[in-house]
Each structure stands twice: as structure tokens, then as C-alpha cells.
Amino acid sequence: MKFIHTGDWHLGRLFHNLHLTDDQRFTLEGLLRLVEAERAEALVISGDVFDRAVPPIQAVELLDDILAELALRLKVPVVMIAGNHDSPVRLQYLNGLVGRVGVHVVGEVGAEPRGVALRGRDGVEVVFWPLAYTDPETARCVLACDDIHTHQGVMEAQISSIRERMHAKARHVLVGHAFVTGATTCESERPLTVGGTGEIPRGVFEGFDYAALGHLHRPQSVSERVRYAGSLLKYSFDEADHHKSVTVVELGGGGSLSIKERELPVRRDLVRLRGPFSYLLNHPEATWSRDAYVEVTLTDSEAVLDPMDRLRDVYPHILSLRRETGTAGAGEGGGQTVRGRTTEELFGRFFHDVTGEVMSGPQEMEVAEVLAEIERSAREAAR
Ligand SMILES: [Mn+2]
């Protein structure tokens, strides 16, 4: 049985105040062509389908178009879960209906995760086990289990319920949204927890023929059978050197596994340029970077007059301008001093700036709790 593993579409994402919907549509149309060319028998979307709980209309329409093509024209089943960016309830809206045409959506965590059994052309039966992302507090309630305090606990509780129902005749694929220890992160991922990392060890997935994971945006295998497909597009300049791809997976009846990476077409690439202003204005690579989204880092020590507008003549899609010194550049407040910091770290620095003191342990705990609460209520805004 052959299926395509994707994740982290982040439909409706704003990138430096630019809507990426047209870029996402362009790439997803490439995905539809790939599904056809590969004769894939299922498509997996491992969470973060949307970029936020209440996505813009254009993003909702885009998902509708793509799912309709898959389900109605190509007749390819879809297995899709909510990630930490999705609203659990909104994502699975209409799932009783779309399930009838083979679109299997799991937004909310359930006490007994249900498998989606599909049979390949080769007669191999594969059961997909979609597990929506959920935080430990919610899982503790829904699963009525007081012992769940970590993301590892959430995953283990659900997997132990699955193990009781895994039968040896079929192959088994877990679909999850999680941060596995040892995997490589990047800037466009929102941490799963406030305080701690939410990491889980890859051993949790032992016994599955394949774990199709989402959350981390760089395509990567964590072990032979545990893999992140990576995000649909590059969602931060920090990912300029990534090679985004989707994963074509073939599972044989005896448990044999083959994995191929396939790149999808992109409307505009992401490019980082660095150097003195006068050099960049006459940069030899300007012709290909004309079509790309560009971030420029100026290394000049003297002031440059109106650099953004003048660079825009050479790089029409320039989105970000920074200075090597680390002070705020035009087009992006804060500059690199804010990049890659967690909200807690930033608040800690703000606290220090205002009071001249370092936060105490209990104060840090207090802040972490408040931030976690804000995060939770943002995801559940639709309830
Ligand atoms: Mn994501």
C-alpha cells in the first residue's frame, strides 16, 4: 500500500504581513498532481492544517477545494488530525459527513482512538491511527486519567489503548503531532508547552510500522520508522536552506517499508542575502532572487538612506531588512534580539528591564501558568 505523508500545511499563514494562500494553493495543486502520478492510495496530513484556530476564509476555501479534489475526483482517502495550531472542534466540523467520502478528520482527543482501515491494491491492509494533538490538561479530563501530566503521558495513554486493538494481520500507521526527542527544530514552530519542551522519546512508537508525524517543519526521519514530513512551505527565513518535501511511503504485507522524498513546486522561494548595501544593489544573483521572498541583512557600519525602497527595485518581493549589529531594522520590529526567544524568556527580560531584578522561581512558575492558560483559551476560542 502506497500513501503520501504530509503535515504542517499552516493554511492561512501570514508571513511578514503577506497572505501565503496563493503560494499554498500553487504547491497543493502540485501535491494533487503527485498523488495522481504516484497513484497514491491515501494522503496523511499530520496536523497544523490551518495556521490558527479561526483561519481566514480564503484558507478554509482552499482546504475545501483540495479535499474535494482528493475525495471526489481522485477518490483518494485522507487521514487528517489537528495540530497545536488548529481548533479541535472547528477542524472536525462536518466529519460525520465527509467521513462518508473517505475524508477522516480527528480534531479532538477521544477515550478510545479509532483506526481507519484501508486496503491497498496489493491486498495489504493498513490501519491508520489518527491522534489529534492535545495538551495534558485536556487529555487528563477526556481520558479520565489523573496520571497524565506530560505530552509523553498523553501519547502513551492513547497508544496503550490502541495496542489492545492492533491485530497482526494488518500493518499499523500512527498519525500524530508531537515533538520527539533528538529531532531538529526551526523558527516557525510554536512550542507545545510553556515551560519544558513537551518532548517524547521515539520508543513510544515501538511496534508501529510507521509513525507519520507533524509539528517539526524540517523533513526528517527520527528513526527508520518514525518520520516528520516537514511543512508544506518554508515558513520562516530560518528555513531558507531547507528542502521541503512530502514523503511517499510504501508498506508491504510483511512490514517492509520504503520511503521517498518528493519536492513540490513552489511559487516563490525564500532567500536570505547578506552584505554591504552597494554590493547587494548590484548583486550578481539578483536575477533569480527577483522572484523570491527576500530577507536582506546589511553589513554596513554607516547609515544607509532609505534602504528598503531602494532594495525593492532590485528585489521586488523583499519582506525583511536587518542590520548585522542586531538593532531593529526597517520592516521588522525588534530585529534579531527577539528572534528564537520564547515568550517566557522575553517576559523575563522585560521584567528585568522594568524592575532591575531577576524573576524568582515562584514568579516564573506563575508566568508559565498564565501563558499556558492563554494558549489553551486561544485554541479553544471556538468552544
Ligand atoms: Mn506546525
Q: Do both 194 and 278 map to the same domain?
A: no
Cα of 235 vs centre of ligand 1, distance in Å, is: 9
- Residues 328, 351 within the same domain: no
How many A from CA of 10 to the centre of ligand 1? 7
> 322 CA distance to ligand 1 centroid (A)?
25
**Do 333 and 356 reside in the same domain of the chain?**
no
* CA 213 / ligand 1 centre spacing (Å): 11
> Which of 148, 125, 127 has the alpha carbon at shortest distance from 138?
148
Ligand 1 centroid to Cα of residue 45, in Å, is 11
- Least reliable range by pLDDT among 100-114, 181-195, 205-219: 181-195
- pLDDT, position 198: 87
Question: Are 203 and 279 in a shared domain?
Answer: no
- How many angstroms does the Cα of residue 91 sit away from the middle of ligand 1? 15
Q: Are residues 310 and 353 in the same domain?
A: no
Tell whether 94 and 144 lie within a shared domain.
yes
Helix-strand-coil split of the chain, %, nearest 5 = 35, 25, 45
Domain termination site, one of 209, 242, 262: 262
Measure 313 CA to ligand 1 centroid, in angstroms: 33
Is residue 201 domain-shared with residue 221, that is, in the same domain?
yes
Distance 48 CA to ligand 1 centre (A): 5
Q: Which amino acid is at 109?
A: V
Q: Are residues 93 and 220 in the same domain?
A: yes
Residues of the domain holding 362: 343-379
Cα 98 to averaged position of ligand 1 atoms, centre (Å): 24
Given 262, 281, 304, which residue is the final one in a domain? 262
Centre of ligand 1 to C-alpha 22, Å, is 19
Residues 125 and 176 in one domain: yes
**Which residue type, as a one-letter code, is found at position 114?**
R
Going from the Cα of 300 to the center of ligand 1, the distance in angstroms, rounded, reads: 35
pLDDT at 375 over 80: no
Q: pTM, whole model, 2 decimals?
A: 0.88
Asked if residue 307 lies in contact with residue 281, where contact means CB atoms within 8 angstroms, the answer is no
- 229, 92: one domain: yes
> Which of 262, 289, 310 lies at the terminal end of a domain, its last residue?
262
- Tell me how far the alpha carbon of residue 239 lies from the centroid of ligand 1, in angstroms: 13
How far is residue 283's CA from residue 281's CA, in Å, rounded to a whole number?
A: 6
Domain count, the chain: 3
Same domain? 274 vs 257: no
Instruction: Say how many Å lie between the CA of residue 13 and the centre of ligand 1.
Output: 11
The answer for residues whose C-beta is within 8 angstroms of residue 172's C-beta and 6 or more apart is 115, 126, 127, 129, 162, 166, 207, 208, 209
Model confidence at 179, pLDDT cuts 50, 70, 90, reads very high
212 plus 316 within the same structural domain: no
What is the tens place of the pLDDT at every residue in 295-325? 999 999 888 999 999 999 999 999 999 998 6
pLDDT band at 330 (very low <50, low <70, confident <90, very high): very low
> Residues of the chain with pLDDT > 90: what percent?
77
Q: What is the mean pLDDT of residues 261-277?
A: 96
What CATH number does residue 224 fall under?
3.60.21.10
